[in-house]
Amino acid sequence: MKVYKFGGASVRDAAGVRNLHRILSTESGELLLVVSAMGKTTNALEQVVEAVWRRERTQARTLWQAIVDRHRAIADELGLGAETDAIAYVAPLAAEWLEAPEPPADYDFLYDQLVSLGEILSTRIVSAYLASQGIDNQWLLTPDVLRTDAVYRDANVDAGSSERLIRNTLNPSKHLWIAQGFIGGTEQGYRTTLGREGSDYTAALMANMLDAESVTIWKDVRGIYNADPRLVADTTLIPALNYFDAVELAYSGAQVIHPKTIRPLENKRIPLYVRCFADTDASGSVINADAPKLENLPVYIWRKNQVLITMRAKDFGFILEESLSDIFAIIRRYRLKVSLIQSSAVTISVSVDKTRNVDEAIRCLSERYSVTYNVGLALLTIRGTTPENLERAKAGREILLCQTTRRTAKLLVKEDEALKHV
Ligand code: ADP
Ligand code: ASP
Ligand code: MG
């Protein structure tokens, strides 16, 4: 069995869904599709959550209706009929939260119940369209087969029970199965999400559980480059890279692969192909165990939306080990995503993604330490750094923090200065 993951850009409109069909038509073996929400649907659903949370019911209904209308138009264009089953399927799931007298007490819980509907809508449409083209398939509800804990918006998958569930649910008489990326479900039957951009991770998890021969993620780029081709004009394609380099790249912020994707693949030595849905002749990139170490080609990775938090001991005496464990317990409690750590005799600085909990975490840290912070930052990681490329990257920028090892440099700069040049 192979796993194909189609991201939001690949299924953003009816033409995208038809193109997915075209890609599948060259496939003959068993295939599991993991599909994201269409285009920017997840962002739109986040707006619905905000409105429900603020008790702006009319606004929430209007925003939800716009999402429904967009999907209805796509289904219609695909010849599925305006009253498509996808919309009938999600309508009661949305109404449960849109029409409730009060929002639930936990924002993250509400978020997962509503935001998960994007993937459900997209997969219902893809499944129905493929069936209408004579391609028999089984639609799976991922929350029924990917069992997670109740850490909403950052749920942890229970691999053991999920493997049993998915193996029992796949109908062996089919050759094509279609599941949602990014979402899971608790034992109590609530939907969860695995963190934004998490569908790559879902594909890797399912591939691991089903002993798939490979995973292919279909993107709007021709593979993995040594810098984001959307940001940098002169980039080089990396045809093959090993799991270790891939994890470093993903963790540093290369949006092209979600950082959690590599581990489930590496565990079973499953190769990951990154291919372009708009140019299926291009061979793309492969991540596997045999690829040589990335050498001689500097790689530039931006991780945007960073906050630098600097803590200073109030009594001037930093006992490093104790403070570190205390600070990291708080970081863990607020589920901050750390991109950089630096310590001195009396300060500890961490750069974290600007997520919803950052303000509260800073408040909590301020009770124990003198805290200063800067927002609106971007972290540039250069792997394969040289004195020349580091100088070039530093030139004309205000550097808030710089960390270098023999092969890697990390520069924290103001976000508005981020894209000047590398
Ligand atoms: P998906 O549709 O799967 O969600 P994403 O938008 O998350 O796809 O990922 C693809 C994007 O990743 C590309 O459009 C590209 O701008 C960006 N990207 C960032 N870093 C890299 C890189 N090193 N190589 C290729 N693409 C990259
Ligand atoms: N739809 C989700 C997101 O936009 C998950 C994904 O696309 O991977 O974050
Ligand atoms: Mg993505």
Give the CATH number for residue 352: 3.30.2130.10
Q: How far apart are the first and last CA of the chain?
A: 41
235 within some domain: no
CA distances, 226 to each of 7, 241, 243, 285 (Å): 21, 11, 15, 12
Q: What is the CATH number of the domain that holds 16?
A: 3.40.1160.10
242 within some domain: no
Q: What is the pLDDT of residues 314-339, one digit of tens each?
A: 776 655 677 888 899 999 999 999 99
Q: Which amino acid is at 378?
A: A
* Mutation to probe ligand 1, out of 217, 225, 228 (largest number of atoms < 8 A from CB): 228
Q: Which domain holds residue 309?
A: 299-417
Contact (Cβ atoms closer than 8 angstroms) between residue 226 and residue 16: no
Sign of CA dihedral 15, 21, 24, 25: negative
Considering 219, 243, 264, which residue would you say is the last residue of a domain?
Answer: 219
258 within some domain: no
Distance from residue 73's CA to the centre of ligand 1 (Å): 27
* Mutation to probe ligand 1, out of 3, 196, 219 (largest number of atoms < 8 A from CB): 219
285 within some domain: no
264 within some domain: no
Lay out the sheet containing 338-343: strands in order across: 338-343, 347-353, 299-313, 369-383, 408-414, 399-404
In a shared domain, residues 332 and 193 = no
* 231 close to ligand 1 (CB < 6 Angstrom): no
Q: How many domains is the chain built from? A: 2
In a shared domain, residues 9 and 109 = yes
Contact (Cβ atoms closer than 8 angstroms) between residue 42 and residue 121: no
270 within some domain: no
Contact (Cβ atoms closer than 8 angstroms) between residue 341 and residue 320: no
Nearest to 397 by CA among 413, 376, 385: 413
Nearest to 194 by CA among 48, 86, 42, 63: 42
In a shared domain, residues 211 and 99 = yes
In a shared domain, residues 205 and 354 = no
In a shared domain, residues 66 and 171 = yes
Place of tokens 């939306």: 305
Q: Which residues pair with 240 in a beta bridge?
A: 286
193: number of Cβ within 10 Å: 24
Give percent above pLDDT 90 in the chain: 86
As given in the structure block, the two tokens for residue 167 are: 């193996």
Q: Using CA atoms, how far apart are residues 196 and 194, in angstroms rounded to an integer?
A: 7
Distance from residue 108's CA to the centre of ligand 2 (Å): 16
As given in the structure block, the two tokens for residue 360 are: 């509260």
Q: Using CA atoms, how far apart are residues 122 and 12, in angstroms rounded to an integer?
A: 9
142 within some domain: yes
In a shared domain, residues 28 and 139 = yes
337 within some domain: yes
pLDDT for res 105: 96
Contact (Cβ atoms closer than 8 angstroms) between residue 71 and residue 37: no
pLDDT for res 268: 97
* 9 close to ligand 1 (CB < 6 Angstrom): yes
pLDDT for res 356: 87
**Residue with CA nearest ligand 2 atom 8:** 197
In a shared domain, residues 315 and 197 = no
**Residue with CA nearest ligand 1 atom 3:** 7
Q: Using CA atoms, how far apart are residues 285 and 364, in angstroms rounded to an integer?
A: 44
**Residue with CA nearest ligand 1 atom 16:** 230
Considering 174, 191, 219, which residue would you say is the last residue of a domain?
Answer: 219
Q: What is the pLDDT of residues 162-205, one digit of tens each?
A: 999 999 999 999 999 999 999 999 999 999 999 999 999 999 99
Could you please report the per-residue DSSP string of 360-408?
A: HHHHHHHTTEEEEEEEEEEEEEEES--HHHHHHHHTT--EEEEEE-SSE
In a shared domain, residues 87 and 215 = yes
Residue 115: nearest ligand to its CA? 2
* 197 close to ligand 1 (CB < 6 Angstrom): yes
pTM of this prediction?
0.92
Distance from residue 307's CA to the centre of ligand 3 (Å): 22
Q: State the 10-residue block means of pLDDT for the chain, 422 residues long.
A: 97 98 93 98 98 97 98 95 85 96 96 98 97 96 98 96 98 97 98 96 98 97 94 92 93 88 97 97 96 92 95 72 86 94 88 94 94 96 94 92 94 82 66
135-159 core/surface letters (b: 16 or more CB in 10 A; e: else): eebbbbbbbebbbbeeebbbbebbe
Considering 219, 244, 262, which residue would you say is the last residue of a domain?
Answer: 219
Residue 197: nearest ligand to its CA? 2
Distance from residue 9's CA to the centre of ligand 3 (Å): 8
In a shared domain, residues 59 and 169 = yes
How many alpha carbons lie under 13 Å from residue 139 in its C-beta half-sphere? 17
In a shared domain, residues 55 and 168 = yes
Q: Using CA atoms, how far apart are residues 4 and 214, in angstroms rounded to an integer?
A: 9
In a shared domain, residues 189 and 336 = no
Q: Which amino acid is at 169?
A: T
